[in-house]
A and B are shown apart, each in its own frame.
Chain A
Amino acid sequence: GNSVTQMEGPVTLSEEAFLTINCTYTATGYPSLFWYVQYPGEGLQLLLKATKADDKGSNKGFEATYRKETTSFHLEKGSVQVSDSAVYFCALLDTNAGKSTFGDGTTLTVKP
């Protein structure tokens, strides 16, 4: 079956530091890949997505590239802010079914 493995947290960084959160997946076929973010007290929000190999999704300074050869979709940001503190979830959408498979989430705390 499909699975998503995320870098374990929590991750604590200073403001303006570089962020990488690793995500690898196992899937049959050609899934679409997503990063969702959950800010404290709020629901899941789509951060970015990529639907085919070598596509790069980007939003709010975050980027992730769909790497089919390494089955990875690592999330990066060049300079984090305190407001980026949240839980980040990597997910894949099975092209043959409607359901998404999520990783367990990575908690990011950014300190001033």
Chain B
Amino acid sequence: GAGVSQTPSNKVTEKGKYVELRCDPISGHTALYWYRQSLGQGPEFLIYFQGTGAADDSGLPNDRFFAVRPEGSVSTLKIQRTERGDSAVYLCASSLSTGFGETQYFGPGTRLLVL
């Protein structure tokens, strides 16, 4: 079946602009996660959803970052007033549930470059 998909695959924007990154999880997966990966580092947790609600947004770096999942499927990560330090690969993952030991399946990521 189809895996997690993310669009766009690459995004170049100018400092101060607004961007939206989209994630389509695996069908039937109730949990959805966003991570950010900087060069040479492992993914860093941003936020996760169980259904439509954000269960933990403790990883969002500041109030310029916001994510939604209005119908419990597709999610959008929104970044306002982008800064050069926001440049990274943004990864989305989904899992069947948030049960013990549940595997998270990752998408290919969106590479964001802020000029």
Contacts and interface: CB of A to CB of B under 8 A. Distances in A.
Contact of A102 (B40, B44, B102, B103): B44
Nearest to B100: A95
B29 to A, nearest CB: 12
Interface string B82-95: 00000000010101
A100 B101 contact: no
B109 interface: yes
A91 B42 contact: yes
Contacts of A32: 100-101
B41 interface: yes
B50 A93 contact: no
Given A43-B107, A104-B40, A105-B41, A99 B102 contact: no
Given A46-B103, A46-B105, A104 B45 contact: no
B104 interface: yes
B31 interface: yes
A99 B48 contact: yes
A105 B43 CA distance: 9
B100 A99 contact: no
Nearest to A52: B101
Interface of A: 4, 32, 34, 36, 42-46, 49, 51, 89, 91, 93, 95, 97-105
Given A100-B43, A100-B104, 12 more contacts: A36-B106, A43-B91, A43-B108, A44-B93, A44-B106, A45-B106, A46-B103, A46-B105, A49-B101, A95-B100, A98-B55, A104-B40
Interface of B: 31, 33, 35, 40-45, 48, 50, 55-56, 59, 91, 93, 95, 98, 100-109
